[in-house]
Amino acid sequence: MKVNVHAVNFSIDKKLVDFVQDRMDKLEKHHDKVVSAEVFLKVEKTSDKENKFAEVKISVPGDDFMVKKQCKTFEEAIDQTSDSLERLLQKRKEKVSPHI
């Protein structure tokens, strides 16, 4: 799967990109036709500790799914978005595939 990672208001390091790639690759276990993923990582300049946002948009044939989470760390936000996407993909796959 092709994963594009975009960093807004900060520079991203290789470890974070690799972490994002690993988590997005795990989504293919739940839906084998995931085409691509767009990941936007943002930092808000606030006094709030939960100022990191992860927004993930994935494309499957016939649909796009988007999930946005706000957390203390990017890793936590990516984990939460991928968990939500896993549930969405499983529901979508069950709805599309015929029941035997």
pLDDT digits (tens, 9 = 90+) for 30-76: 777 888 899 999 988 777 777 889 999 998 888 888 999 999 999 99
**Rounded to a whole number, what is the distance in angstroms from the first to the last CA of the chain?**
29
Ordered alpha helix ranges (H), the chain: 14-26, 74-96
pTM of the model: 0.83
Q: What is the pLDDT of residue 40?
A: 94
Mean pLDDT in residue range 14-42: 88
d(CA 60, CA 33): 6
Q: Is the pLDDT of residue 12 over 80?
A: yes
